[in-house]
Amino acid sequence: MNKQVIRNESIGVEYIKIDHPSGLSILLCPMQGYSQAYALFGTNYGSIDNCFKTNLDSDFVEIPDGVAHFLEHKMFENEEGDAFALYAETGASANAFTSFDRTCYLFSCTDKFEESLRILLDFVSRPYFTKETVQKEQGIIGQEIRMYEDDPDWRVMFNLLGALYHEHPVRKDIAGTVESIAEIDAELLYRCHRTFYNLSNMVLAIAGNFEVDTVLRLCDEMLKTGEDIRIEKKAVEEPAGIVRKKCEQKLAVSIPLFCIGFKEKPAQEGETVKTKVLADILLDVLAGESSPLYRELYDKGLINAQFTTEAFLGRGYFTNMFEGESKDPDAVFDAIVEQAARYQREGLPRDAFERAKKSMYGRAVAQFNNVESVALSLVSSQFQNTGLFDVVEAAANVTFEEAQAFFKEHFDGARCALSVVLPA
């Protein structure tokens, strides 16, 4: 068993990285003085992974949209009952989520950590599907899909992704469609579990109040080496341009919602952390609360306190986003595109960059005061093939010249789209 202790002296934090004989990567960050433990058991498998092949397949396999999310729902059930009922006995708070590029099962607790971890390792590793339970779940998830079809915040974002991306599956709803999940059966679920829930494709990340020896003892006891499965995910050839400049939908809102996105070239392998740090800093410079653009839009009543920015990126996609409410979304769109073009022509304000850089560094350090943030960051670092402290180091070392060059290569108004949800 390969075991490393990785420490960052500048912030005084360390974690343990273990390559378990089962193939599982284990990342542990004990945090003294905390009462809570937060554990995540995750697989490098999300909604965008709908075309893949393994060393056991002769060709790529295409699966219906929504399988990763469907699996997440079904994993809590087995022949003995429901994992949530078991967690009710330990007092732990349990949940799960599926994103575009990962699925994670989690719990947090202040007591009975060993019992709760045993439940987690067991139910995620032991699938149980039947024709009847799959059909029942199709009805439940179908209702969830219909609910999200009427959710303004959900629709304004996915409508934007549909306006930006021609081919990449990030444009599709994580849960799939009622039609796509109707194609899912027990055999397909078992196949995807065998492929993507192979321990060599997973990570166990824990932060907070727990004993390292307890974790390793349970992993040695419960986790067995699986098949030698190597996964190849089919790359998507996505055009550089966007699908359309604007899309609108009417739903039950009192004030229009908007989502604006600059479609960017995806980050190169190994550059994800630096790209995210640069984008977050520049979004703050361009439209953060202390920026001239934010003050102008706010003073004119074009945005309110709901206005946010996000560097949204992952495998094969990258969008700089601006979201909020406005009586005139088109005016907000024009102002953002115009300010971005001005900074590309005239250069960035250095004082704004330095301020945003310090703020970014502060947020990166502050996350180590929160057990949930640390555990989530451990998972991200594993699946991005980076280190837990890379964000701190990147935020500390990024230069004004790098930011200037980055900005000139991004925020192209020709590849920017506006999504609006209007009052019905």
Q: Which residues contact 186 (CB under 8 A, 6 or more apart)?
A: 129, 130, 131, 133, 134
- Distance, CA of 391 to CA of 365 (rounded, Å): 9
**In the structure encoding, which two tokens stand for residue 7, read together?**
């420490």
Active site residue 310: no
d(CA 334, CA 330): 6
* Candidates 9, 72, 354, 409; catalytic one: 72
Strand pairing class (2-8; 246-251): unpaired
Sheet order of strands, 202-208 included: 2-8, 13-19, 25-30, 202-208, 37-43, 103-109, 93-98
What is the enclosing helix (H) or strand (E) of 256? none
Q: Which amino acid is located at 43 in the chain? A: T
Query: Residue 101: which H helix or E strand, with range?
Result: none
Give me Rg for the CA atoms of the chain.
22
Task: List residues bridging with 260 in a β-sheet.
Answer: 322, 418
Give the CB-side neighbour count of residue 299, counting CA atoms within 13 A: 7
Burial 168-189 (b: 16+ CB within 10 A, else e): bbbbbbbbbebebbeebebebb
β-partners of residue 263 are: 319
State how far the alpha carbon of 417 is from the alpha carbons of 146, 251, 265, 293, 325, in Å. Answer: 25, 20, 15, 19, 16
- Catalytic residues, by residue number, are 72
